[in-house]
Amino acid sequence: MVKKTKKSNTGWKIFIYTAIAVVLVMLGFVGYEWWQERRAHFVRYAEFGIDIPVNYTIHGVDVSKYQDVIDWSLVRDMKVGDVQMSFAFIKATEGLGNEDAYFKRNWKKVKDAGLARGAYHFFLATKSGKAQAENFINSVELGPGDLPPVLDIEQTYGIPGEKLRDRAKEWLQTVQDYYHVMPIIYTNVDFYKQYLKDDFDAYPLWVAHYLQKERPSIYRAWAFWQHSEAGRVNGIMTKVDFDVFNGDSTEFRKLLIN
C-alpha cells in the first residue's frame, strides 16, 4: 500500500513539474514577443532608405518571419513626401506543412492597422501542388477587403519545367476553386520568362525586378512590382521588400475580395 502511494506521488510530481515547465516556456515566449514589440515600437527612420519609383500612388511592403515582430501602426503612419504604405503581403505557408512563425500575428495586426493584407505561399516544386494548396487553405482565411492569394514561385529545385508548371497549375486551380478568386503569381522577371510565360499570362502578376527606375522590364501586364529588397520603414527592425501597385485607388479596390 505504501509503495502504491509513493508511485502515485511520483506521478503527480512529474505532472506538476511538467506543467510548470510548460507555463514557464509559454511565459518566456510571451515575454520575448512583448520585448520585441516594444523594440519595434521605437524603430524610426528619417527616410525609406531607397529610391521610390515615381508615378505610383499605392505603396506597400511584403514580410515574413525574417522581419521579426513588427509594429504595424508605425508602418501605416510613416509618410515621406507623398509616399505612405497602403498594403502588406505576408508569408503564410511553405511546402506541405510549414506555416510562417509570425503569420498569425502579422495577419491580425495588419488588419488592425487598417492596411490591405495579402497572404502568400512559398512554392516547393518538388512537392504536390494540390497538397501545398491545402496547406495554404488550412492556414489562411480570406475575407472582404483582403488581396487575392499569392503563389510565390521562383525556384525549380531541379524539377523539369513541364512538371513544375503542372504542379503550379494544381496549386492555382485548387486555391481558386476554394476562395473563388483568381490567385496572383509572384516571381522574378527571368524566372517568368524562362519557365512560366504563355501558360500563366492570364493570372495577375506580382513581379520582382530591382534597380529599375520606372517599371520592371517584362513583356506582359503586371499588377504589383517588388522594386527593392532594402527598404526601411518605421516599426520594422530589418530591411524589408518594397512594392508598388500598377494602378490607382479605384483599380486597387477592384482587386480586393468582395
Q: Is 62 a catalytic residue?
A: yes
Q: How far is CA 233 from CA 53, 55, 240, in A?
A: 16, 20, 8
Residue 154 is a catalytic residue: yes
DSSP calls for the chain: -HHHHHHHHHHHHHHHHHHHHHHHHHHHHHHHHHHHHHHHHT---SS-SSPPPSS---EEEEE-GGG-S--HHHHHH-EETTEEEEEEEEEEEETTTEE-TTHHHHHHHHHHTT-EEEEEEE--TTS-HHHHHHHHHHH----TTPPPPEEE----TT--HHHHHHHHHHHHHHHHHHHSSPPEEEEEHHHIIIIITTTTTTS-EEEE--S-SSS---SS--SEEEEEEEE--TT-SS-EEEEEESS-HHHHHHHS--
What is the amino acid identity at position 160? P
The active-site residue out of 33, 99, 154, 170 is 154
SS3 label, residue 5: helix
Per annotation, catalytic residue among 62, 71, 94, 152: 62
Catalytic positions, written as ranges: 62, 154
